[in-house]
Structure 1
Amino acid sequence: MENRKKILLWRWIFFLAGLMVMSLGISMTIKGQRLGISPWDVLHVGLYRNFGLTIGTWGILTGLIIVLTTAAVMKQWPKIGTWINMVLLGLFIDLFNWLLPEFSTLWGQTIIYVIGVVVLSYGVGIYVSPNMGAGPRDSLMLILAKKWGISIKVIRTGIEVLAGIIGWLLGGPVGVGTVLIALLSGQIIQIALPQCQKLLLRIIKEEDQQVLLK
């Protein structure tokens, strides 16, 4: 019983820490927004420009649509972590946007943007590794990768490109940074996820990866 409590505790620690790391990475890319915003944010801005509401509201609504769609396809209700993700991610992003300084030069924005892409990708790897419930978009990525037998990097890149194209058609802003995130984030997550899973298993002193599925 004690061992199970320890495993559950560490899984939650990884989940929450991963959300914070991912939020930090997203905020870093926002600070370098002169290069362009992420594909999903291109979509949210495009929807905002065409149908009103707010960008944040569209982020929540698209996430909710994805959650309900994947739940219907998988015939399984999302884990509580998925809902927690939807709430905490926005709060953490606002916090880091307030804490991080502004970068006025192009070089400064470029550096913070590139580092941010790596940080947010590893954040995804950290919070997904304990299997407490991925966020709406990452849940879709994992489901499609498993269902079609395609690597995470290919699925992630495909989803990001599709979201970016739809957002661009709706009038959302696209820049070189948009392409950078779409092409690189899936590649980095493909490397980060197994590394984070191995680290978690080492901390809880387990060798069987199935322990993360319980």
Structure 2
Amino acid sequence: MRKELKWRWLFFVVGIAVMSFGVAMTIKGKVVGTAPWDVLHIGLFQRLGLSVGSWGIILGLCIILSTSLILKEWPKITTWINMLLCGLFIDLFNWLLPTTDVLMYEIAYFIFGVIILGVGCALYISPNLGAGPRDTIMILIVEKLGGSIRMARLTMESVAAIIGWLLGGPVGIGTIIIALCSGYIIQAALPYFQRLLEKKIAGPEYDKISSKHTKPLAKEA
């Protein structure tokens, strides 16, 4: 059990770090637009100061408290950790990554950022330790108002992007690209990380189990 928890937490924390690195890259390439929530975070940063990561934490805290009051239950510890680590990692990587005014480099930042963001999401989701603040409110919308998760996510992110745009946040074609492409990247990468996590937890036994499942298929062929 200790080994399993170790690997699950490792995937969770490293996944958040990788995802935050991708977010920071898309922010550096904001000439083409950023993710809907980051439009809001950047808009607040430009208007009120602090930092992009700080606003991510502040809004996450507001969402956690709101959903806790509605659901009448305290969120999981992983929801709090998700909120704090995302904000801290985004600010760290924003500070470490060099800023550029060259259009080609900004576009490269954005493209690689979208891919890394999606891979990081899949990595942190794979251990199934709990949802982040924004995912929690999305699930709450579905439970209370009905409809699909996709529509709830689209509505929530649209509202965040519009408010962020009104505050001066960077909305562009990149905002649409992230909204459309990130789900496909996560969907493609998630099974790989789930299998990798199972392999790390099972250790040498994983190969034996896998070979038992594949032998009958080999005979049929």
TM (normalized to structure 1)?
Answer: 0.78
Flag structure 2 segments of 5+ consecutive residues without an equivalent.
210-221
One-letter code aligned to 2:184: Q
Q: Which residue of 2 aligns with 1:160?
A: 157
Task: Identify the range of structure 1 (186-195 vs 81-90) with the bigger mean alpha-carbon deviation.
Answer: 186-195
- Residues 91 and 62 of structure 1: CA distance in aligned 2, closer, same or farther (over 3 Å): closer
- Is 1:121 the counterpart of 2:103 in the alignment? no
Q: Which residue of 1 aligns with 2:213?
A: none
Where in structure 2 are the equivalents of 1:95-134 lying within 5 Å?
95-134=92-131
One-letter code aligned to 1:90: G
Aligned residues: 202
CA RMSD, 1 decimal? 2.8
Structure 2 counterpart of 1:187, from 184, 195, 210: 184
Instruction: Find the residue that maps to 1:101 and give its secondary structure.
Output: coil
Structure 2 counterpart of 1:92, from 89, 93, 96: 89
- Residues 197 and 139 of structure 1: CA distance in aligned 2, closer, same or farther (over 3 Å): farther
- Is 1:203 the counterpart of 2:200 in the alignment? yes
Task: Identify the range of structure 1 (100-109 vs 78-87) with the bigger mean alpha-carbon deviation.
Answer: 100-109
Q: Which has the larger radius of gyration?
A: 2
- Residues 46 and 27 of structure 1: CA distance in aligned 2, closer, same or farther (over 3 Å): closer
Give the deviation of 1:145 after TM superposition: 6.4
- Residues 167 and 29 of structure 1: CA distance in aligned 2, closer, same or farther (over 3 Å): same
Structure 2 counterpart of 1:37, from 21, 34, 39: 34
- 2:100 & 2:165 partners in 1: Cα distance? 26
Flag structure 1 segments of 5+ consecutive residues without an equivalent.
208-214
Q: Percent identity?
A: 52
One-letter code aligned to 2:26: T
Q: Which residue of 2 aligns with 1:22?
A: 19
Q: Answer yes or no: is the 8 Å Cα contact 1:157–1:185 preserved in 2.
A: no
Structure 1 counterpart of 2:61, from 36, 60, 64: 64
- 2:184 & 2:100 partners in 1: Cα distance? 27
One-letter code aligned to 2:33: G
